[in-house]
Structure 1
Amino acid sequence: MSLNRERVLISYDEFEEMFTTFQHTAFRLETRRRYRSDEESETYQQFVAGLAPEWDLDHPWCRSRREQAALGKRFERVRIMDNPPTMGQRYLLNNSERNGLVGEDIRYLWRADADRLGLPAEDAWLFDSRYLALLHFDADDDITEIEVITDPVKVARACQERDAAWHYATPHREFAAGVLSDM
Structure 2
Amino acid sequence: MPDLTPFEDVSHFFQDFEHTAWRLETQRGYASDLDSPNWPRFQHGETFGYNPDSAWHLNVREQTLQGKRFERVRLVDQPPTEGQRFLLASGLGNVEAGEDIRNLYRSDAERIGLPDYDFWLFDSRTVIKFVIDGEGTTLGVHVLEDAESVVRACQIRDAAWHHAVPTKEFETQVPSSV
TM range (shorter): over 0.9
Q: Over aligned residue pairs, what C-alpha RMSD do you find?
A: 1.8
How far apart, CA to CA, are the structure 1 residues paired with 2:109 and 2:49? 31
What residue identity is the alignment partner of 1:124? F
What's 2:21 paired with? Answer: 26
**Percent of aligned pairs with the same residue?**
45
Q: Give a deviation string over 1:137-179, Cα, whole Å, max 9, x none.
A: 1122110011101110121011011000000100000000111
List structure 1 segments (4+ residues) > 2 angstroms apart after TM superposition.
Answer: 8-14, 49-58
Unaligned runs of 5+ in 2: none
With over 3 angstroms needed to count, the CA separation of the structure-2 counterparts of 1:54 and 1:105, relative to structure 1, is closer
Q: Distance in 1 between matches of 2:82 and 2:117?
A: 20
Q: 1:162 aligns with which of 152, 157, 160?
A: 157
Q: In structure 2, which of residues 136, 147, 152 is the aligned counterpart of residue 152 of structure 1? A: 147
Query: What is the CA–CA distance in structure 2 between the aligned matches of 1:136 and 1:181, rounded to whole Å?
Result: 31
Using the alignment, how far apart are the partners of 1:114 and 1:8 within structure 2?
28
Label 1:53 to 1:69 Cα distance change in 2 as closer, same or farther (>3 A): closer
1:65 aligns with 2:60: yes
For the residues of structure 1 that align with 2:46 and 2:122, how far apart are their CA atoms? 35
Alignment partner of 1:9: what SS?
coil
Q: What CA deviation, in whole Å up to 9, does each residue of 1:2-46 have, x standing for no partner?
A: xxxx51433333221110111100000000000010011121111
Query: 1:182 & 1:87 partners in 2: Cα distance?
Result: 9
> 1:40 maps to which residue?
35
Is residue 124 of structure 2 the alignment partner of residue 123 of structure 1?
A: no
Calculate the TM-score normalised by the size of structure 2: 0.94
Greater radius of gyration (CA): 1
Counterpart contact for 1:133–1:148, Cα < 8 Å:
yes
8 Å contact from structure 1 (residues 132, 148) kept in 2? yes
1:164-179 matches, within 5 Å, as 164-179=159-174
| Structure 2 CA distance for partners of 1:170 and 1:126, relative to 1, 3 Å | same
Q: Aligned residue for 1:133?
A: 128
TM-score normalised per structure 1: 0.91
8 Å contact kept, 1:46–1:53: no
Mind listing any 5+ residue stretches in structure 1 that lack a counterpart?
1-5
Indicate yes or no: 2:32 matched with 1:14.
no
The range that moved more, 38-47 or 162-171, is: 38-47
Cα distance 1:182–1:8, how it changes in 2: closer, same or farther (>3 A)?
closer
User: C-alpha separation between the residues in 2 aligned to 1:146 and 1:62?
Assistant: 22
Q: In the alignment, what sits opposite 2:71?
A: 76
How many residue pairs match? The answer is 178
Letter in 1 for 2:134: A
Partner Cα distance (1:122, 1:115) in 2: 12
Partner of 2:84: 89
Distance 1:54 1:101 in 2: 7
Which letter does structure 2 place at the counterpart of 1:139?
A: G
